Chains A and B, each alone.
Chain A
Amino acid sequence: AQKITQTQPGMFVQEKEAVTLDCTYDTSDQSYGLFWYKQPSSGEMIFLIYQGSYDEQNATEGRYSLNFQKARKSANLVISASQLGDSAMYFCAMRDRTGNQFYFGTGTSLTVIP
């Protein structure tokens, strides 16, 4: 079964607008971590933001915030004030206690339109 589901293969957003990238996850663990990574066309994997399952507040890092809804098992990434440099592939990932690995989704390709 898929541990991480990203249902938006591609998204477009106007420069300076906000955009939400969806991510739902599947785990029976109570303790887990959720991560978002950015992969620009250069191919790097850049860590953006982390949310722990016990964190009461939604995580924020600059223009990135994570809309964490535990009951719905969703961890959507919100990018505010989009910039052209935000155009990239975005991956949601989870780590739980069933293994040491990260489970990744299939990614969402974001294009920022000037």
Chain B
Amino acid sequence: GAGVSQSPRYKVTKRGQDVALRCDPISGHVSLYWYRQALGQGPEFLTYFNYEAQQDKSGLPNDRFSAERPEGSISTLTIQRTEQRDSAMYRCASSRVSGGITDTQYFGPGTRLTVL
């Protein structure tokens, strides 16, 4: 079946603009995760959903960042009033079940965000 998809793949925006990044998980996957990956670093956790419920948002850097998954499938990560330091690769991952130690996360291709 189809993997995790993300759109747009590339986003260039001006400082101060809002951006919305979309993630479409693997069909039937319960859990959805957002990560941010700086160049030369590993992915860093932002937030996590089980179905439509946001279970953990401890990794969101500040209140300009928010995420939703209203119907338990597609998720949107929104960054308001973007700043240059927000430039990074934003990755979405999904997993079949929730909370399992063995639960593998499957990643999307990412959205490369550049804030000018």
Contact = CB atoms under 8 A, between A and B. Distances in A.
Contacts of A53: 101
Most buried by A among B43, B56, B110: B43
A25 interface: no
Given A31-B101, A52-B102, A91-B42, A44 B109 contact: yes
Nearest to B89: A43
Interface residues on A, range: 20 to 34
B27 interface: no
A91 B107 CA distance: 13
A100 B104 contact: no
Contacts of A107: 40-42
Given A43-B109, A101-B56, A35 B104 contact: yes
B110 A105 contact: no
Interface residues of B, number: 29
Contacts of B56: 99-101
B51 to A, nearest CB: 13
B28 interface: no
A62 B89 CA distance: 30
A96 B8 CA distance: 32
A26 to B, nearest CB: 15
B102 A100 contact: no
A50 B104 contact: yes
A82 to B, nearest CB: 22
Interface string A95-109: 111011111111100
A76 B68 CA distance: 36
B101 A44 contact: no
- A-B residue pairs, 5 tightest by C-beta: A104-B42, A101-B45, A45-B107, A33-B101, A100-B48
